[in-house]
Amino acid sequence: MMYEMYIGIDDTDSPEGMCTTYISSVIIDQLKYCGYDIEGYPRLIRLNPFARFKTRGNGAVSFKIILDSPSQVENVKKIVLDKVKNLSMMENENTNPGVIFYHGEIVPELKYFALRAIRSIITIKEALDLAHDIGAEIHQFKKGRGIIGSLAAMGCPLEDSTFELLAYRMRDNYGTKRQIDSDSVVKMNEKTYPQTFDNLDGGYMAIEPHTPCPILYGIRGESSEAVLEAHNLVKSLEPIERYCIFETNQHTDMHIQKIEKIQEMEQFGCYQIQGKVKDEPRVIEGGHIFFYLEDDSGEVECAAYEPTKEFRNVVKQLRPGDEVVLYGGIGTHQTLNIEKIEIKKLEPQYEEKNPICDCGKRMKSAGAGKGFKCPKCGSLLRDGSKVLSPLERDLELGFYEVPPSARRHLSKQLVRMDK
């Protein structure tokens, strides 16, 4: 009789290094070496990007292992727990790993918990209560906050999913400049896009992290076949220790909740909301752009921050009365961080001009309160007034998105909007 068990792992890394996907990859390889079967691909589930205690990428991992008998469970647990304990960044006070072992159905309560972890804020107590209710085995290191992500990674429904292949560096190279042939990345992108995406951002290699973590590069795409093909096209100029393909909720907009009224927004939530631009966008020091979106229920401040680069040029051209749909999240300052925008309607814009004379020449002011005078024929218009002339707007209806270098893990690219 086959024995199935889910394993969830989270909160093992820190800004100084390590990666939950790497630790999971090491564990999976060792389990396979010991003869155990892993069903399907491990899952990389990104959680709420505004969670206060999030890890670097706020991603948790889970996988399902198939055993010949329950007698093998203890050996599997030992392998998992030893690796988590020995490889996690335990010295960092904000690294609090959690591991969950679960034998049973993925019940609706677990799926609901996962969606809440992606769209709102969940406490450790809520995770503990759920784990106890479903009979999951809990292992907490230090504060053990990672049990939240571990449960969410197991329960997350993946009606829409993407894949990411992560290639890992040799340990001696951690913290050094990554050695990747950039020309090969360009050629890979030309051959595999849009089945893979976010490989490049202009001259910037978006597949390459810029942290001291074990990842050499990550390739994202629509299928495992696509990311593997792309991986085989990339030329690494340094040795690769291992690679692993994950099924993930990245680039699915799973964090986005469609709401009807601005007043329904809550801090740390992510939303799709339609409204009208209230004021002309203003640029502050640092290049950040702000404006207010309004509807019948209220208003919310919105921001396109400097890292979004050219996307800010779109936001800068918005004018009061424009109807837009915004996608983004509410951060610590109650401001909506814009991830993408759909412009639904542009409010006509006008500028005041002097009237045109009967002779066809535009008139000039004849002085305060004296009307207008034609510079060509000399005609006077004593009681005339300025006229409104329509302005052409260098902006089209449709979708606009931030560049790959500024995109959140969960944000769905325009190339995927029909998925």
Instruction: Check if the beta carbon of residue 345 is closer than 8 Å to that of residue 355.
Output: no
**Range 101-130 average pLDDT:** 96
Q: How far apart are CA 229 and CA 137, in angstroms?
A: 38
- H or E stretch covering 346: none
Nearest residue to 233 via CA among 253, 214, 213, 217: 217
**Range 370-397 average pLDDT:** 88
394 to 37, 255, 319, 345: CA distances (angstroms): 57, 32, 12, 13
Give pTM, 2 decimals.
0.91
Nearest residue to 47 via CA among 128, 156, 139, 129: 156
Q: Domain spans of the chain? A: 3-155, 162-248, 257-346+394-416, 349-391
Using pLDDT thresholds of 50, 70 and 90, give the confidence band for residue 331: confident
Q: How far apart are CA 235 and CA 180, in angstroms?
A: 6
Residues 6+ apart with CB under 8 A from 234: 167, 180, 181, 184, 185, 188, 207, 217, 219
DSSP 72: G
Q: Is 313's pLDDT higher than 80?
A: yes
* pLDDT tens-digit series, residues 9-58: 999 998 888 999 999 999 999 999 999 999 999 999 999 998 877 666 78
Nearest residue to 209 via CA among 63, 412, 409: 409
Residues 6+ apart with CB under 8 A from 363: 354, 355, 356, 357, 372, 373, 374, 375, 379, 381, 384
**Range 339-349 average pLDDT:** 97
DSSP 71: G
- Which pLDDT does position 289 carry in this prediction? 98
Instruction: Check if the beta carbon of residue 44 is closer than 8 Å to that of residue 61.
Output: yes
Q: Is 80's pLDDT higher than 90?
A: yes
Using pLDDT thresholds of 50, 70 and 90, give the confidence band for residue 320: very high
- Which pLDDT does position 368 carry in this prediction? 82
Strand partners, 391: 349
Q: Which CATH class is domain 3-155?
A: alpha beta
Q: Which tokens belong to 34?
A: 């010991």
Q: Which residue has tokens 């002309």? A: 280
- H or E stretch covering 197: strand 196-197
**Range 273-298 average pLDDT:** 97
| Number of other CB atoms surrounding residue 126 within 10 Å | 15
Q: Which residue has tokens 């068990």? A: 5
Fold held by 257-346+394-416: OB fold (Dihydrolipoamide Acetyltransferase, E2P) (2.40.50)
Task: Return the minimum-mean-pLDDT range out of 109-113, 181-185, 317-321, 378-382.
Answer: 378-382
- Which pLDDT does position 1 carry in this prediction? 66
Instruction: Check if the beta carbon of residue 13 is closer than 8 Å to that of residue 60.
Output: no
Q: How far apart are CA 3 and CA 5, in angstroms?
A: 7
DSSP 370: S
Instruction: Check if the beta carbon of residue 182 is closer than 8 Å to that of residue 403.
Output: no
**Range 267-281 average pLDDT:** 97
3-state DSSP of 277-326: ECCCCEECCCCCEEEEEEECCEEEEEEECHHHCCHHHHHHCCCCCCEEEE
**Range 324-330 average pLDDT:** 97
For residue 194, whether the previous peptide bond is cis, meaning omega lies within 30 degrees of 0, is yes
CATH number of 162-248: 3.90.600.20
Instruction: Check if the beta carbon of residue 60 is closer than 8 Å to that of residue 9.
Output: yes
Q: How far apart are CA 185 and CA 74, in angstroms?
A: 43
